[in-house]
Chain A
Amino acid sequence: DGGITQSPKYLFRKEGQNVTLSCEQNLNHDAMYWYRQDPGQGLRLIYYSQIVNDFQKGDIAEGYSVSREKKESFPLTVTSAQKNPTAFYLCASSISTIYGYTFGSGTRLTVV
């Protein structure tokens, strides 16, 4: 079945460590997105990529980095510079935004 796979589902890290969240899709979608979801704040865009080897900052990119070396993969690194990294992270992809996005099941990151 086609879809988006995010791993791991739960992730615990110590403060000051970088951590990388995986997002893989087999939908042949060109565009991929990372969102952060916090209670009462909805979904906020971190980074997006419309094509391989190209990506743009979203609204809250500070403290995050991404790469897009393959069409299927769009990993997100949460760096030690991110002041409040504990959150639920959602990856999405689309063939065209007029059709909406397909979302992965998310990764809940807890930094202690």
Chain B
Amino acid sequence: AQSVSQHNHHVILSEAASLELGCNYSYGGTVNLFWYVQYPGQHLQLLLKYFSGDPLVKGIKGFEAEFIKSKFSFNLRKPSVQWSDTAEYFCAVNGGSQGNLIFGKGTKLSVKP
């Protein structure tokens, strides 16, 4: 069965620090990959997605992610975080015949002003 692992449960950073959130998936075929963000009290919003082509994907609010097929990874990055980036981040993968998105357990990011 497919699975998605997010290695960090809670990350605490100061403003202007760089961010990298890890995401690994287990599926050997063609995949579509997603990062969602959930700001406090709000619904999940799509940050970015990968279908094919350039493995470096740029999303909203300065976020980017790199798909490394050999490592089954899709890590999320941002060069300089802001207090407003405080949120929970979810990685998701779609692959295989069923086609539903499989979500990781999420990483809570707290940015100190």
Classify chain A's interface size. 20 to 34
Q: In chain B, what residue has the closest Cβ to A35?
A: B103
Decide if B104 touches A101 in the complex (CB within 8 Å): no
Decide if B103 touches A106 in the complex (CB within 8 Å): no
Given A40-B9, A43-B90, A105-B42, is A99 in contact with B49 using a C-beta cutoff of 8 Å?
yes
- List of B residues within 8 angstroms of A98 by Cβ: 32, 51, 94
**Closest CB in chain A relative to B1 CB, distance in Å:** 10
Contact of A105 among B34, B43, B105 (CB under 8 A): B43
Complex CA distance for A14 and B99, rounded to whole angstroms: 36
Decide if B105 touches A41 in the complex (CB within 8 Å): yes
Complex CA distance for A97 and B31, rounded to whole angstroms: 11
Complex CA distance for A105 and B94, rounded to whole angstroms: 22
- List of A residues within 8 angstroms of B51 by Cβ: 98
Complex CA distance for A33 and B100, rounded to whole angstroms: 9
**Closest CB in chain A relative to B8 CB, distance in Å:** 12
- List of B residues within 8 angstroms of A105 by Cβ: 42-43
Q: Which residues of A contact B (CB under 8 A)?
A: 33, 35, 40-43, 45, 48, 58, 90, 92, 97-101, 103-106
Q: Which residues of B contact A (CB under 8 A)?
A: 6, 9, 32, 34, 36, 42-46, 49, 51, 90, 92, 94, 99-101, 103-106
